A and B are shown apart, each in its own frame.
Chain A
Amino acid sequence: MTEEIIIAGFGGQGVLSMGKILAYSGVMQNKEVSWMPSYGPEMRGGTANVTVIISDERISSPILNSYDTAIILNQQSMDKFEKTVKPGGLLIYDPNGITRFPDRRDINIYSIEAADEAGKRGLSKIFNMIVLGGFLKLKPLVAPEYIHKGLEKSLPARHHALIPENEKAIELGKELLQAIHLVN
């Protein structure tokens, strides 16, 4: 099993940390992982993305131009990454701020109203965990107990009291997921 994922959005949305928690959870479940962030001019312009690979085998290239899954959190990222999803692959997006919706018919597309829901519930800081929950419902690559361990490893000790809240956000994300287009 190898899952190649791109997570993309604005800086500050928790794109890099979502990837880090996913990657660390994979490590705790004894998977091979790689986490390759954008650190260049695009990051300085406000957008951020990270490639996460989780595999049972040694990972070859940490940098890819097509993905099994794209998790997309703003319009710029939709423009850039919708076309990079492999046929039959998965695209999850938050419709907040999206002006041109994905129109591919050869991939599975889901939306998740994470930003809206997080705003209503005062969970804006862990909006990214809601999105992660949606992804994990469709691709349960890592078991919940390892997500817990991944959170413990990724978050500094002073924030460990917030882990249950993060886990609740992941569960909420699983409920908020909506199918938009399915291949089969």
Chain B
Amino acid sequence: MGELRLMKGNEAVAEAAIRAGCDGYFGYPITPQSEVMEYLMAEKPFERTGMVVLQAESEVAAINMLYGGAGTGKMVMTSSSSPGVSLMQEGISYMAGAELPAVIVNVVRGGPGLGTIQPSQADYFQAVKGGGHGDYKMLVLAPASVQEMCDHVKLGFEKAYEYRTPVMILSDGAIGQMMEKVVLFDQIPRRTDDEIIKQCPWASNGRPKTRNHNIITSLDLDPAGQERVNLKLQAKYKVMEQKEVLYEEIQCEDAEYLFVAFGLSARICQKATDLARAKGIKVGLFRPITLFPFPSIEVSNVGNRVKGILVVEMNAGQMIEDVKLSVGCKIKIEHFGRFGGIIPSPDEVVRALEQKIIGG
């Protein structure tokens, strides 16, 4: 077993990046995720593994540093919170277009605009439907614990390279700020230059005489060429939909009703599940772990066995669209949400189930 520690979610992200063999972190401070860079600066991975940690002059600079680093095959990460991630959207779209691997962590806070520094899940659409321009997707992971904040960094880098795609970890202020037990995986050595050349034959990191220039770009002015790029991306997303879906079912076997929730909301719904069952309501919880690819078939399988579904999100109703597309219109599907940094209490969620689904 790996090393056991009590850590904040943000700290776990930072330590996991070092241990995953990350080559560079570029970021700009913003609450509630500033501990990521604070931890890295205190931990000095530039002495531990040689990893670069750099405070950029802005989020726009940070994401473009990612573009540059990833273009050379280096393993790079950034983190920010909602307003900062909005600034990064152009860069993320360029990275998706140029097929560059990277991990981007969004510790979501309430919006719109500067909003608040309290937790929220209002960036689901931005993460899953493409906040930037063009037909692109990212693999989107939704951790619900500090342990998953750690594990998703490692998994995120693996998938980023497997698919040559940016990967987003969609967390929130509560998961970032809270401390839980975490078992850290052992240090993975940073790749040598030779290993990077072998793993990333596409990377622009010095041309040997044996091949032509590698060009990292998202630009192709010839529409036929640009359509080929799009077809290649779409084919890649199809494979991700078939192979990369992750989810968790809790007490679904005998459920008559179902909560669907991700991240922090799923933790609250788990407590709500226990409270409701103590009152004799047989409810289960379906937790998507990947938001893209969305576990459509899996939620439909469970959803079509129950009498009604309550989708609980800290937003005004975003993931519910994907739940409805997956499950169809045969059963009642309602949304319950709190916004602007308010976290719903487990009691409130049970009441919403009783009012909107059971009584409604």
Of all chain A residues, the one with the shortest Cβ separation from B273 is A60
* Range class of the B interface residue count: 20 to 34
Does more than half of chain A's interface fall in helix, strand or loop, or is it mixed? mixed
Q: Which of B84-92, B172-180, B231-239, B328-336 contacts A (4 or more CB under 8 A)?
A: B172-180
Find chain B residues with CB under 8 A from A62 CB.
174, 178, 180, 264, 267
Query: What's the Cα separation between A77 and B172 when bound, in Å?
Result: 26
Does A40 lie within 8 Å of B180, measured CB to CB? no
Known: A61-B272, A62-B267. 12 other contacts (CB 8 A): A20-B6, A23-B6, A27-B4, A33-B181, A34-B180, A35-B180, A39-B32, A40-B117, A61-B268, A63-B264, A64-B346, A65-B347
User: Does A37 belong to the interface (CB within 8 Å)?
Assistant: yes
Which residues in chain A, 6-65, are within 8 Å of chain B measured between CB atoms?
A: 20, 23-24, 27, 32-37, 39-41, 59-65
Does A34 lie within 8 Å of B178, measured CB to CB? yes
Does B6 lie within 8 Å of A35, measured CB to CB? yes
Give the top 10 A-B pairs by smallest Cβ distance, nearest first. A60-B270, A61-B271, A35-B179, A60-B271, A65-B345, A36-B178, A61-B268, A27-B6, A61-B267, A24-B6
Does A40 lie within 8 Å of B346, measured CB to CB? no
User: Does B73 belong to the interface (CB within 8 Å)?
Assistant: no
Does B178 lie within 8 Å of A35, measured CB to CB? yes
Task: Return B206 CB to nearest CB of chain A, in Å.
Answer: 43
Query: What's the Cα separation between A37 and B32 when bound, in Å?
Result: 12
Query: What's the Cα separation between A40 and B341 when bound, in Å?
Result: 10
User: Does B316 belong to the interface (CB within 8 Å)?
Assistant: no
User: Does A148 belong to the interface (CB within 8 Å)?
Assistant: no
Does B268 lie within 8 Å of A20, measured CB to CB? no
* Total A residues in contact with B, Cβ cutoff 8 Å: 22
Of all chain B residues, the one with the shortest Cβ separation from A40 is B118
Which residues in chain A, 64-106, are within 8 Å of chain B measured between CB atoms?
A: 64-66
Query: What's the Cα separation between A35 and B176 when bound, in Å?
Result: 11
Interface residues of A (CB under 8 A from B): 20, 23-24, 27, 32-37, 39-41, 59-66, 153
Of all chain A residues, the one with the shortest Cβ separation from B274 is A60
Query: What's the Cα separation between A33 and B4 when bound, in Å?
Result: 13
Find chain A residues with CB under 8 A from B272 CB.
61
User: Does B116 belong to the interface (CB within 8 Å)?
Assistant: yes
Which residues in chain B, 1-29, are within 8 Å of chain A measured between CB atoms?
A: 4, 6
Contact for A60 among B178, B181, B267, CB less than 8 A: B267
Find chain B residues with CB under 8 A from A33 CB.
6, 179-181
Query: What's the Cα separation between A59 and B267 when bound, in Å?
Result: 8
Find chain A residues with CB under 8 A from B116 CB.
40-41
Of all chain B residues, the one with the shortest Cβ separation from A19 is B179
Query: What's the Cα separation between A87 and B6 when bound, in Å?
Result: 31
- The winner among A40, A64, A65, A66 for most chain B CB atoms within 10 A is A40
Does A63 lie within 8 Å of B6, measured CB to CB? no
Contact for B181 among A27, A39, A41, A64, CB less than 8 A: A27
Does B345 lie within 8 Å of A37, measured CB to CB? no
Query: What's the Cα separation between A36 and B347 when bound, in Å?
Result: 19
Find chain B residues with CB under 8 A from A39 CB.
31-32, 117, 173, 177
Does B6 lie within 8 Å of A36, measured CB to CB? no
